[in-house]
Amino acid sequence: MRRLNRKKTLNLMKELDAFPKVPESYVETSASGGTVSLIAFTTIAFLTIMEFMVYRDTWMKYEYEVDKDFTSKLRINIDITVAMRCQYVGADVLDLAETMVASADGLIYEPVVFELTPQQKELQRMLQLIQSRLQEEHSLQDVIFKSAFKSASTALPPREDHSLQSPDACRIHGHLYVNKVAGNFHITVGKAIPHPRGHAHLAALVSHESYNFSHRIDHLSFGELIPGIINPLDGTEKIASDHNQMFQYFITVVPTKLHTYKISAETHQFSVTERERVINHAAGSHGVSGIFMKYDISSLMVTVTEEHMPFWQFLVRLCGIIGGIFSTTGILHGFGRFVAEIIFCRFRLGSYRSTSVPLPDGHTSNHLPLITDNSTH
């Protein structure tokens, strides 16, 4: 009884077989079919390898939403070298919301030599080259995001030589916290003096001949400090052509949440436009000599997430490649055989063209002579 049920089950399964087997004696192989099969297998192997490389790769997904965090502080990371002595310059932030000076106590004034060493110049040239490529190819920013914490810091290495030259510049570096509103970070002559109506700088004791706001921005970023991230102003160097020169940077800061397979951090991206001019009151160019970085906080927040292709999607695409290649090559091979048979049939029919037969009256007949029984004897 069990054997009978097993036989019925097997017969039922055979009837449901959607892939019937053809006996080998009924299968006809050809050289053209083998060639097409070889091309199909090669194409499938190549596309499978390419698809596996796509499966291993990741991409960055950007999502935008309104930034509702107005109470937290904004961190500014600064590393700027100015070609003036430290006792002649002062750096501070003017908070436009409260029209008050935010103390820059977190900054360190370090006397240094403005001229770079060969090793430092090489790193600066590399940063400038990366900045130029980033402006042309924006997709490189995704590569930088994914490689964060893997790369070394973008800060210049310390001097490898102990120069006997006296310091002629001031390196202002460190970080400070400000309100998340528009503000103005600036470096100008003299130390900042608190004032009820704003602020002022004690610049009376510094002669105009010693003004030199040539500067180098080794690092400027907002938010959490992430090693390996290259910001738009990193590696920037400006040489003043006049003593009374103003350098202005207009910065738009965008809050950014970065989530990759390596890190998860809250930082800020920013875009910047630059402007510089010589202060000449007689010519109508008014202002104060110095370096001014006017920043504004965007109301939108960007969430950057690193994504990976799911395994099931990889299998579906792989099946589509294999099935599509087999179906396409089969159709092309069948169409090629059909065309070849038509051409060869016409060629064979042409070989049976009628021949001319002379008639007794001198005319010719283009019809084939009839074959009768008498003509065979």
pTM (2 decimals)? 0.68
List the structure tokens of 145. 């995001």
Tell me if 120 is assigned to some domain.
yes
Give the pLDDT confidence of 313-369 residue by residue, as tens digits. Answer: 889 999 998 888 888 888 888 888 778 778 877 666 665 554 555 555 555 555 545
pLDDT at 281: 76
Tell me if 139 is assigned to some domain.
yes
Work out how many domains the chain is built from and give that number: 1
Compute CA distances 179 → 46, 84, 271, 291, 293, whole Å. 55, 29, 19, 21, 15
User: Residue 78 forms beta bridges with which residues?
Assistant: 174, 220
> Which residues make Cβ contacts (< 8 Å) with residue 156, sequence separation at least 6?
116, 120, 123, 124, 218
Rounded Cα gap, residues 264 and 200, in angstroms: 41
Tell me if 375 is assigned to some domain.
no
Rounded Cα gap, residues 266 and 255, in angstroms: 8
**145 contacts 226 by C-beta, under 8 angstroms:** no
If pLDDT is split at 50, 70 and 90, which confidence band does 162 have? Answer: low
Tell me if 194 is assigned to some domain.
yes
H or E stretch covering 2: helix 2-15
pLDDT at 249 exceeding the cut of 50 = yes
The alpha carbons of the chain give a radius of gyration, in whole angstroms, of: 40
State which residues form the domain around 216. Answer: 68-298
Helix axes 31-56, 311-351, angle to 10 degrees: 160
Tell me if 125 is assigned to some domain.
yes
pLDDT at 81: 92
pLDDT at 270 exceeding the cut of 80 = yes
Look up residue 317 and give its amino acid: R
Rounded Cα gap, residues 290 and 89, in angstroms: 9
pLDDT at 358: 56
Rounded Cα gap, residues 255 and 221, in angstroms: 12
If pLDDT is split at 50, 70 and 90, which confidence band does 143 have? Answer: low
pLDDT at 370 exceeding the cut of 60 = no
> Which residues make Cβ contacts (< 8 Å) with residue 82, sequence separation at least 6?
89, 169, 170, 172, 187, 213, 214, 215, 291
Tell me if 348 is assigned to some domain.
no
pLDDT at 376 exceeding the cut of 50 = no
Q: What is the mean pLDDT of residues 42-66?
A: 87
Could you tell me what percent of the chain has a pLDDT over 90?
9
**356 contacts 366 by C-beta, under 8 angstroms:** yes
**209 contacts 145 by C-beta, under 8 angstroms:** no
Of residues 295 and 153, the one with the higher pLDDT is: 295
pLDDT at 377: 42
Q: Is the dihedral of CA 157, 158, 161, 163 positive or negative?
A: positive
Rounded Cα gap, residues 313 and 54, in angstroms: 11
Q: What is the mean pLDDT of residues 141-149?
A: 62
What is the separation of C-alpha 18 from the centre of its chain, rounded to a whole number of angstroms?
A: 47
List the structure tokens of 15. 């009837």
Tell me if 319 is assigned to some domain.
no
Q: What is the mean pLDDT of the chain?
A: 78
Tell me if 278 is assigned to some domain.
yes
Of residues 270 and 200, the one with the higher pLDDT is: 270
Strand, helix or coil at 165?
Answer: coil
**Total H helices, total E strands in the chain:** 5, 17
Least confident of 29-43, 154-168, 172-186, 296-310: 154-168
